[in-house]
Structure 1
Amino acid sequence: MITRRSLLHTTLSTAALGVTPALFAAPPKRKFKLKFAPHFGQFVAHAGESLVDQLKFMADEGFTVVEDNGMMERSTATQETIARTLQQLGMSLGVFVVAVGGNENKLFTTGHEDNRRNFAKACEAAVAVAKRVNARWMTVVPGVFERKLPIGIQTANTIDVLRAGVEIFERENLVMVLEPLADSPDLFLRTADQAYAICRAVNSPACKILFDMYHLQQNQGSIVASIDQTWSEIGYFQIGDVPGRLWPGTGEINYGNVFKHISTKMRESGRDFIFGMEHGPWQPNKQNERACIDSYAAINAAL
Structure 2
Amino acid sequence: MDRRSFAQMMGGSLLGAGITSSQPTLAASSSQIHSLAAEPPFSLKYAPHFGMFKNHAGNDEIDQLKFMHEMGFRALEDNDMMGKSPELQAKIGETLTKLGMTMGVFVVKFDGFFDTQHMTTGKKEATEMFIKACKTAVETAKRCNAKWMTVVPGNFNRKLPLGVQTGHVIDNLKRGAEIFEPHNLTMVLEPLSDNPDLFLRYSDQSYMICRAVGSPACKILFDMYHMQRNEGNMIANMDLCWEEIAYLQIGDNPGRKEPTTGEVNHANIFKHLRKKGYTGVLGMEHGNFYPGKEGEVKLIEAYRKEDKG
TM-score range relative to shorter protein: 0.7 to 0.9
Which of 260, 276, 282 is the equivalent residue of 2:283? 276
- Secondary structure in structure 2 of the residue aligned to 1:177: strand
| 1:31 partnered with 2:41 | yes
Which of 105, 110, 118 is the equivalent residue of 1:107? 118
Q: 1:210 & 1:242 partners in 2: Cα distance?
A: 18
Which residue identity lines up with residue 3 of structure 1 in the other structure?
Answer: F
- Secondary structure in structure 2 of the residue aligned to 1:185: coil
Structure 1 unaligned runs (5+)? 8-26
Distance change (3 Å), C-alpha of 1:4 and 1:206: farther
Q: 2:7 & 2:69 partners in 1: Cα distance?
A: 7
Which of 97, 103, 106 is the equivalent residue of 1:93? 103
- Secondary structure in structure 1 of the residue aligned to 2:49: coil
- Secondary structure in structure 1 of the residue aligned to 2:5: coil
Residues 217-236 of structure 1 correspond to what in structure 2 (within 5 A)? Answer: 217-236=228-247
Which residue identity lines up with residue 84 of structure 1 in the other structure?
Answer: E
- In structure 2, what is the equivalent of residue 13 of structure 1? none
- In structure 2, what is the equivalent of residue 292 of structure 1? 299
- In structure 1, what is the equivalent of residue 144 of structure 2? 133
Q: 2:239 & 2:172 partners in 1: Cα distance?
A: 27
- In structure 2, what is the equivalent of residue 192 of structure 1? 203
- The superposition leaves residues 52-94 of structure 1 with CA deviations (integer Å, 9 ceiling, x where unpaired) of 1111110110111101000000111221221222223222210
Preserved contact between residue 42 and residue 280 of structure 1 (Cα < 8 Å)? yes
Q: 2:269 & 2:99 partners in 1: Cα distance?
A: 29
| 1:208 partnered with 2:219 | yes
Deviation at residue 134 of structure 1 after TM alignment? 0.8
Q: 1:55 & 1:147 partners in 2: Cα distance?
A: 44
Q: 2:222 & 2:67 partners in 1: Cα distance?
A: 27
Distance change (3 Å), C-alpha of 1:274 and 1:197: same
Which of 6, 9, 23 is the equivalent residue of 1:3? 6
Deviation at residue 102 of structure 1 after TM alignment? 5.0
Q: 2:73 & 2:173 partners in 1: Cα distance?
A: 32
**Poorly superposed stretches of 4+, deviation over 3 Å:** 4-7
Preserved contact between residue 214 and residue 241 of structure 1 (Cα < 8 Å)? yes
Identity across the alignment (%): 53
Deviation at residue 301 of structure 1 after TM alignment? 2.0
- The superposition leaves residues 18-62 of structure 1 with CA deviations (integer Å, 9 ceiling, x where unpaired) of xxxxxxxxx963211111100111111111111111111101101
Residues 30-109 of structure 1 correspond to what in structure 2 (within 5 A)? Answer: 30-102=40-112, 105-109=116-120
- In structure 2, what is the equivalent of residue 180 of structure 1? 191
Which residue identity lines up with residue 6 of structure 2 in the other structure?
Answer: T
Which residue identity lines up with residue 47 of structure 2 in the other structure?
Answer: A
Preserved contact between residue 119 and residue 172 of structure 2 (Cα < 8 Å)? yes
Which of 170, 175, 193 is the equivalent residue of 1:164? 175
Q: 2:182 & 2:95 partners in 1: Cα distance?
A: 27
- Matched residue count: 279
Q: 2:67 & 2:282 partners in 1: Cα distance?
A: 18
Q: 2:9 & 2:123 partners in 1: Cα distance?
A: 55
Deviation at residue 156 of structure 1 after TM alignment? 0.5
Structure 2 unaligned runs (5+)? 11-36
| TM-score normalised by structure 2 residue count | 0.86
Preserved contact between residue 120 and residue 169 of structure 2 (Cα < 8 Å)? yes
